[in-house]
Amino acid sequence: MTSYDLDAESAESDSILYIDLNAIRINYQLFCARTAPAECAACVKADAYGLGLERVAPILADAGCTTFFVAHVAEGVALRELLDSVRIFVLHGAWPGNERNLFDYRLTPVLNSLAQVNTWAAFARARGELIEAAIHIDSGMTRLGLDENDLKVFEADPGQLDGLSVVHVMSHLSCGDEQDDAMNQVQLERFQRLRRKLPAETASLAASAGLFLDPKFHLDMVRAGIALYGGRPTAREPNPMSEVARVRARILQVRDVDSPRTVGYGAAHKVAEPSRIATISVGYADGYARSLGSLGRACIEGIAVPVVGRVSMDLVTLDVSEVPRDKVVEGGFVDVIGGGINLDDVAQKAGTISYEILTRLGRRYRRVYLGSGS
């Protein structure tokens, strides 16, 4: 059972971020079921998309996840300290200077360039042992990864890979969230052609959006991120994932406005009719996007109300005229993300994506983890 009852510490808090670990487990299991027999790896970079690596990663491992992706070496080190026996890929790869940490914490770098291959292979040869690596092929993002010319270097001189055991080869789709985009097929074909130039054990191409792509995109592994955290994996399909994050903010003050007035910075909102304005305890410092001014919505006891005026650092104003008086109580809480306010709708109104909304949630919330995940 998921309970949003206030515990003692929450009763002292002005804003609360609930993170439903049970929903993360359910999302992982749903993802696995839909992409099997491909393996489902979990992307837990950026503190598990802002939701807390320390709590999220063990739940995923317990749900059966044995392969994790992080971006930075430091994230890999933190993850290794939580989970001893899983495979951890580090997307940003190997650099002169970080090889020691990669090796000591049994992190597998995703090598993105010839220079990274050389760095890691030289480290392996200096140790006189075979060391694992993944290799990133650029199939169309033009961001990270080896391109066709880089791979020709290995064809000409296969010795460059000496010392490396290439356990995985990957690439990343630029339009994966649009299942009909021709770019997906172009990237798949390019990846399949280029990966044959490498002696890799397994391959991956798709991220969360792979859930809605043809199984031919799943290859050996799908790298799930946002879907595990409740975000909609594609632009078009209804979201099959369970809600994970819920942000609630306290109602600090409710005012009756009976004469024409303006609300907030820039006098941006004008009150014409007699209205009630509630001021709540969340702002852009908490990751509530400033772009949601006059566009966002909150939910009070199941009733949606509009954000009026600009979003301040610590405060947001709502027009609660439509909500019965006894339901808008000073000291009570309203939902601003989740709990009736859909994460992807918030992102769309803010002019961004759910990923950015989640990863920008601030440090000021009291964080309450719900569900043991079992």
- Contact between 226 and ligand PLP by CB under 6 A: the answer reads yes
Residue spans of beta strands (DSSP E) within the chain = 15-20, 39-43, 67-70, 87-90, 107-111, 131-136, 164-170, 202-204, 221-224, 245-257, 261-263, 269-271, 275-280, 297-300, 303-308, 316-319, 333-337, 366-370
Stretch that binds ligand PLP, among 152-160, 218-226, 278-286, 302-310 (CB under 6 A): 218-226
- Binding to ligand PLP (CB under 6 A): which residues in 232-261? none
Q: Quick one: which of 80, 92, 197, 223 contacts ligand PLP (CB under 6 A)? A: 223
- Contact between 43 and ligand PLP by CB under 6 A: the answer reads yes
- Angle CA(18)–CA(47)–CA(310) in degrees, nearest 5? 60
The residue (of 45 and 269) whose beta carbon lies closer to ligand PLP is 45
The residue (of 130 and 235) whose beta carbon lies closer to ligand PLP is 235
- Contact between 208 and ligand PLP by CB under 6 A: the answer reads yes
Beta-carbon contacts of residue 233 (< 8 Å; ≥ 6 apart): 177, 208, 209, 210, 211, 212, 226, 227, 239, 241
- Contact between 340 and ligand PLP by CB under 6 A: the answer reads no
Q: How far is the CB of 17 from ligand PLP (least distance, A)?
A: 19
The residue (of 160 and 359) whose beta carbon lies closer to ligand PLP is 359
Q: How far is the CB of 150 from ligand PLP (least distance, A)?
A: 18
- Contact between 172 and ligand PLP by CB under 6 A: the answer reads yes
Q: How far is the CB of 91 from ligand PLP (least distance, A)?
A: 5
Q: How far is the CB of 45 from ligand PLP (least distance, A)?
A: 6
Measured CA to CA, the distance from residue 179 to residue 163 in angstroms comes to 39
Beta-carbon contacts of residue 131 (< 8 Å; ≥ 6 apart): 103, 120, 123, 124, 163, 164, 165
The residue (of 144 and 164) whose beta carbon lies closer to ligand PLP is 144
Contact 337, 343 (CB under 8 A): yes
Stretch that binds ligand PLP, among 31-39, 151-159, 219-227, 295-303 (CB under 6 A): 219-227
Q: How far is the CB of 203 from ligand PLP (least distance, A)?
A: 13
- Find residue 16's DSSP bridge partners: 248, 366
Dihedral sign computed on CA atoms, order 149, 107, 223, 218: positive
Q: Quick one: which of 65, 86, 207, 245 contacts ligand PLP (CB under 6 A)? A: 207
Kindly report the length of the chain: 374
Contact 129, 94 (CB under 8 A): no
The residue (of 51 and 207) whose beta carbon lies closer to ligand PLP is 207
Stretch that binds ligand PLP, among 124-132, 213-221, 222-230, 364-372 (CB under 6 A): 222-230
The residue (of 134 and 320) whose beta carbon lies closer to ligand PLP is 134
Q: How far is the CB of 225 from ligand PLP (least distance, A)?
A: 2
Six-digit token string for 171:
């690439």
* Peptide linkage before 37 cis (omega within 30 of 0): yes
- Contact between 134 and ligand PLP by CB under 6 A: the answer reads no
State which H helix or E strand residue 145 sits in.
none
Q: How far is the CB of 355 from ligand PLP (least distance, A)?
A: 6
The residue (of 223 and 310) whose beta carbon lies closer to ligand PLP is 223
Measured CA to CA, the distance from residue 319 to residue 285 in angstroms comes to 21
Instruction: Encode burial over 306-322: b for 16+ CB neighbours within 10 A, e otherwise.
Output: bbbbbbbebbbbbbbbe
Q: Quick one: which of 50, 76, 225, 230 contacts ligand PLP (CB under 6 A)? A: 225
State which H helix or E strand residue 46 sits in.
helix 45-49
- Binding to ligand PLP (CB under 6 A): which residues in 86-125? 91
- Contact between 305 and ligand PLP by CB under 6 A: the answer reads no
Measured CA to CA, the distance from residue 142 to residue 112 in angstroms comes to 11
If 0-12 CB within 10 Å is exposed, 13-18 middle and 19+ buried, where does residue 20 land? buried
**Which are the catalytic amino acids?**
45, 265
Under the rule (CB under 6 A), what is the footprint of ligand PLP?
A: 43, 45, 91, 172, 207-208, 223-227
